Amino acid sequence: MQQYKGWDEFHSKPVEQKIPLFRKEGEIFDVLYAQQFTRAELEYLFLIADRIRNISKTRNGMRFLGSLLDDKRAMLFFVQPSTRTFLSFQNACHILGMKTSEIRDASTSSEVKGESTEDMIRTFSSYVDLIIVRHYNEGFAEKAAWALNTHASRPVSVINGGSGKDQHPTQALLDIYTLERAFRNIGGINGKKIAMVGDLNRGRTVRSLCQLLSLYEDVEFFFVAPEKFAMRGDILDALKTKNIKYTLTEDFQSVIPKADAIYSTRLQDEYDIEAESNAIDYTHFYFKEEYLSMLGKNSVILHPFPRRNEIAVAVDKDPRALYWKQARNGMWVRMALILKLFGRENEAFNFA
Convert residues 105-144 into a mask of x (bound to a copy of itself by CB under 8 A) and - (unbound): x-xxxx-xxxxx-xxx-xxx-xxx----------------
Angle at 195 between CA 189 and CA 198, to 5 degrees: 140
How many angstroms separate the CA atoms of 68 and 20, rounded? 28
Is 57 near a copy of itself (CB under 8 A)?
Answer: no
Q: Which stretch binds a copy of itself (CB under 8 A): 45-53, 149-157, 178-186, 189-197?
A: 149-157
Taking the complex as a whole, the smallest distance from the CB of residue 86 to a copy of itself amounts, in Å, to 8
Q: Which stretch binds a copy of itself (CB under 8 A): 35-43, 150-158, 212-220, 236-244?
A: 150-158
- Strand-pairing partners, residue 159, are 31, 132
Catalytic residue flag (residue 134): yes
At residue 135, the 3 state secondary structure works out as: strand
The question of whether 307 is a catalytic residue gets the answer: no
Residue ranges in 294-313 that form contacts with a copy of itself under rule CB under 8 A = 305-308, 313
Annotated catalytic, 85? yes
Total site size for a copy of itself, rule CB under 8 A: 59
- Of 77, 167, 82, 160, the C-alpha closest to 121 is 77
Near a copy of itself by CB under 8 A: residue from 43, 71, 272, 290 = 71
Residue 213 to residue 29: CA distance in whole angstroms: 22
Closest CB 73 distance from a copy of itself, rounded Å: 6
The one among 35, 36, 90, 264 contacting a copy of itself by CB under 8 A: 90
Are the CB atoms for 299 and 259 separated by under 8 Å? yes
H or E, element range at 340? helix 323-341
Of 257, 324, 343, 349, which one interacts with a copy of itself (CB under 8 A)?
Answer: 324
Positions 261 through 280 that interact with a copy of itself (CB under 8 A): 266, 270
Among the listed ranges 14-22, 41-49, 152-160, 205-213, the one in contact with a copy of itself (CB under 8 A) is 152-160
User: In angstroms, what is the C-alpha Rg of the chain?
Assistant: 20
Within 8 A by CB and 6+ apart from 167, the residues are: 32, 33, 34, 141, 160, 204, 207, 208
- Please name every residue paired with 178 in a beta bridge, in sequence order, or none if there are none: none
Active-site residue, 150 included: no
CB closer to a copy of itself out of 71 and 218: 71
- Burial code (b: 16+ CB inside 10 Å, e: under 16) for 314-326 equals ebeeeebbbbeeb
The answer to whether residue 104 forms part of the interface with a copy of itself (CB under 8 A) is yes
In the residue annotation, 84 being an active-site residue is answered as yes
- Give buried/exposed letters for 45-63 (b at 16+ CB in 10 A, else e): bbebbbbbbebbeeeebee
Single out the catalytic residue among 5, 59, 113, 297: 113
Distances (CA, A) of 63 to 130, 131, 317: 21, 24, 33
Please give the positions annotated as active site.
84-85, 113, 134, 168
Query: Which residues in this chain contact a copy of itself in the complex, by CB under 8 A?
Result: 59, 62-63, 66, 70-71, 73, 75, 78, 81-84, 86-88, 90-91, 94-95, 99, 101, 103-105, 107-110, 112-116, 118-120, 122-124, 126-128, 151-154, 266, 270, 305-308, 313, 316, 324, 327-328, 331
